[in-house]
């Protein structure tokens, strides 16, 4: 089937307002050359000049899409306020003098018997750079402590300066942290005891293997190939292998209906709405960690949407097109296959944000086809959207828009680079140490292979998403417009199951928890261990998972996130069984499985379809 390009919307030109008398109770329309403010809190965005856009797009090639103006303004904000705070500077100076004295004293006694290896400062949190026992021996322990002291001092120096905006403070602290991470002693062979020990044991062979790993990665990067080892994870053969059929297709998505694995199924189908930032099959990885397979084994009929990877021809695809041609088109198709049944809708990440918009629109319009709503690591309020907000301000968004305007889309490398920076120690520098210095290339797994299977984002859609949701927070503040009228999340009365992940850098769980204050529905909130992806992909047979869960009825008093953390009971294991028990309690009695598709579906491919391979 040929793919039909979505044409840009056209609007009727505004007619000049009549210059007549003021009629009582009627405000005359502005003249045709006067701007109309659609919402009072958002100032109009100036129309860019073509030459300026071209210049910014060229500049973005050298800055990897980061706005130099945003960085400069943040540093000026911090440095000016610090210069105007002599007592704060004195405090910072006293801190470094105190730490230096303690460090010199500890370094002088580093070889003394009984000296504690971490006498001045120790690694905290998830910092795994210095966790091996080799780092407890001098002089490497001294180097590690000197680095950690410097890292803490710079954190204190770049934060807590009165008058600096929170956003600029976060940018300065983040950029300093990135520079310091580059200089960590774990990144250099002569200051890393693990590397030196490996070199001594292998006769330097690790450097040979490391060089080979580096050359291989360089060649793959230049030829735009996927990382080494990804060839063992092939879509449709080793991942995304749950049997099923594409039962509907339009120019933006394919709808997959999965084959039942039980003799009887629940009458209400499940619709999975994935994010279009990545491929849908994160919820259908290998058979042993596939949420799709787990659901069909529990007696549910499962549908999943697979988004088409856009290209330059899709530059004018709008955010609302994903709602209409995605969620709503999928519900229409499901109604034809399972008529008269409500749908359990699940949205993951950005797909959850889209689902919440679709649900609020349906509630406004009296559409009651949703039986329950499940959101996985999905935000509806973007005031505390984690470290991703470092890349989202007016200067940065304008810069990204100019870069996308020239290409027609946001490139996969740009998106992957932004996510990698959020966890640079784990995703960048640990790999430098392991792959290139130790010569030990880590084996790929299905989740890593999926992460490398990135997608592009259309220019118009991504611009609207960044401005309406991130910058203006229209959805949370009641200004989001769908088909000419505003929507409100408070119109949602459908029972909701909301999952946050404890170590999420993309959708922090406290931000996800804010949905409690926005909807008028029973909300079961579950906080699971792990991060944005590993916390969601949590099969019951995999050890190490735990969660907390608590339900707030629609008419019950609200509980803040910190209080919730104290009150919600703990449980060991995966959250999947907890969720399916909740779904089963809101479903009817089991019966005969529905037919696969409607009408003639022989012309459409089997799962996982064609769009996932683009």
Q: Regarding beta strands 485-486 and 481-482, do their DSSP bridges make them parallel or antiparallel, or are they unpaired?
A: antiparallel
Q: Name the nearest CA neighbour of 504 among 526, 521, 523.
A: 526
Residue 35, exposed/middle/buried by CB under 10 A (0-12, 13-18, 19+)?
exposed
- Reading the block at residue 240, the tokens are 């995304």
Q: Name the nearest CA neighbour of 30 among 41, 14, 43, 13.
A: 14
Cα distance between residue 374 and residue 355, in whole Å: 9
60 three-state secondary structure: helix
Residue 491 CA to its chain's centroid (Å): 26
The length of the chain in residues reads 614
Render 315-369 in DSSP notation, one character per residue. TT--HHHHIIIIIIHHHHHHHHHSTT--EEEEEETHHHHHHHHHHHHHHHTT---
Q: Output DSSP code: residue 202.
A: H
Residue with tokens 């928890």: 513
Cα distance between residue 330 and residue 362, in whole Å: 14
Cα distance between residue 306 and residue 312, in whole Å: 19
Residue with tokens 């774990």: 186
Q: Name the nearest CA neighbour of 604 among 251, 248, 305.
A: 248
Cα distance between residue 431 and residue 329, in whole Å: 42
Cα distance between residue 291 and residue 597, in whole Å: 21
φ/ψ of residue 390, rounded to 5 = -60, -30
219 three-state secondary structure: helix
Cα distance between residue 285 and residue 213, in whole Å: 27
Which residues, 6 or more positions from 10, have their beta carbon under 8 angstroms from its beta carbon?
none
- Reading the block at residue 531, the tokens are 């991060």
How many other CB atoms are there within 10 angstroms of residue 457's CB atom?
25
Residue with tokens 């100076």: 93
φ/ψ of residue 503, rounded to 5 = -110, 40
**HEC sequence for 453-522:** CECCEEHHHHHHHHHHHHHCCCCCCCCCEECCEECCHHHCCCCEEEEEECCCCCCCHHHHHHHHHCCCCC
Q: What is the dihedral of CA 602, 604, 607, 611, to 10 degrees?
A: 170
Residue 295, exposed/middle/buried by CB under 10 A (0-12, 13-18, 19+)?
buried
Is the torsion defined by CA of 112, 117, 119, 120 positive or negative? positive
Residues annotated as part of the active site: 349
């Amino acid at each position: 089937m040929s793919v039909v390009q979505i044409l840009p919307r056209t609007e009727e030109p505004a007619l000049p307002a009549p210059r007549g008398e003021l009629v009582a109770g009627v405000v005359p329309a502005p003249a045709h050359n006067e701007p109309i403010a659609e919402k009072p809190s958002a100032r109009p965005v100036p129309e860019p000049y073509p030459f300026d856009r071209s210049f910014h797009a060229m500049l973005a090639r050298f800055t990897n899409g980061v706005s130099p103006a945003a960085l400069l303004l943040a540093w000026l904000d911090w440095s000016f306020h610090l210069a105007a705070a002599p007592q704060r500077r004195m405090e910072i100076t006293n801190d470094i003098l105190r730490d230096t004295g303690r460090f010199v004293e500890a370094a002088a006694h580093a070889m003394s018997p009984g000296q504690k290896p971490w006498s001045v400062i120790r690694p905290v949190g998830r910092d795994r750079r210095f966790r091996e026992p080799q780092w407890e021996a001098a002089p490497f322990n001294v180097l590690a402590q000197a680095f950690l002291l410097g890292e803490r001092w710079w954190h204190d120096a770049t934060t807590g300066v009165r008058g600096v905006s929170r956003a600029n403070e976060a940018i300065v602290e983040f950029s300093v942290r990135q520079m310091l991470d580059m200089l960590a002693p774990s990144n250099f062979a002569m200051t890393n005891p693990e590397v030196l020990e490996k070199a001594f044991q292998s006769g330097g062979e690790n450097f040979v293997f490391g060089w080979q790993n580096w050359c291989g990665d360089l060649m793959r990067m230049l030829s735009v190939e996927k990382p080494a080892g990804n060839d063992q994870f092939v879509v449709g053969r080793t991942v995304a292998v749950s049997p099923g059929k594409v039962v509907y297709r339009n120019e933006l998505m394919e709808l997959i209906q999965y084959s039942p694995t039980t003799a009887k199924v629940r009458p209400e189908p499940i619709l999975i709405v994935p994010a279009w930032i990545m491929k849908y099959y994160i919820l259908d990885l290998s058979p042993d960690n596939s949420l799709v397979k787990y659901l069909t084994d529990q007696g549910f009929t499962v549908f999943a949407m697979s988004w088409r990877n856009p290209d330059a021809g899709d530059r004018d695809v709008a955010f609302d097109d994903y709602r209409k041609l995605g969620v709503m088109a999928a519900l229409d198709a499901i109604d034809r296959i399972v008529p008269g049944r409500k749908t359990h809708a699940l949205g993951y990440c950005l797909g959850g944000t889209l689902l919440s918009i679709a649900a609020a629109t349906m509630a406004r319009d009296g559409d009651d086809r949703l039986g329950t709503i499940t959101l996985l690591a999905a935000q509806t309020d973007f005031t505390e959207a984690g470290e991703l907000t470092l890349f989202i301000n007016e200067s940065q968004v304008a810069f990204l828009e100019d870069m996308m305007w020239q290409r027609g889309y946001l490139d996969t490398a740009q998106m992957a680079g932004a996510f990698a920076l959020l966890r640079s120690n784990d995703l960048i520098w640990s790999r430098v140490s392991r792959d290139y210095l130790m010569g030990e290339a880590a084996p790929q797994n299905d989740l890593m292979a999926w992460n490398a299977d990135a997608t592009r984002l259309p220019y118009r859609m991504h611009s609207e998403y960044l401005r309406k949701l991130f910058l203006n927070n229209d959805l949370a503040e009641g200004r989001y417009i769908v088909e000419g009228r505003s929507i409100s999340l408070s119109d949602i009365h459908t029972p909701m199951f909301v999952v946050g992940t404890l170590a999420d850098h993309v959708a922090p769980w406290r931000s996800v928890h804010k949905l409690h204050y926005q909807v008028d529905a029973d909300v079961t909130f579950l906080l699971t261990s792990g991060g944005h992806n590993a916390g969601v992909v949590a099969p019951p047979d995999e050890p190490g998972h735990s969660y907390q869960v608590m339900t707030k009825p629609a008419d019950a008093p609200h509980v803040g996130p910190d209080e919730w953390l104290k009150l919600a009971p703990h449980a060991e294991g995966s959250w999947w069984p907890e969720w399916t028990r909740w779904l089963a309690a809101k479903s009817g009695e089991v019966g005969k499985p529905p037919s696969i598709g409607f009408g003639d579906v022989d012309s459409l491919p089997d799962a996982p379809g064609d769009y996932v391979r683009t």
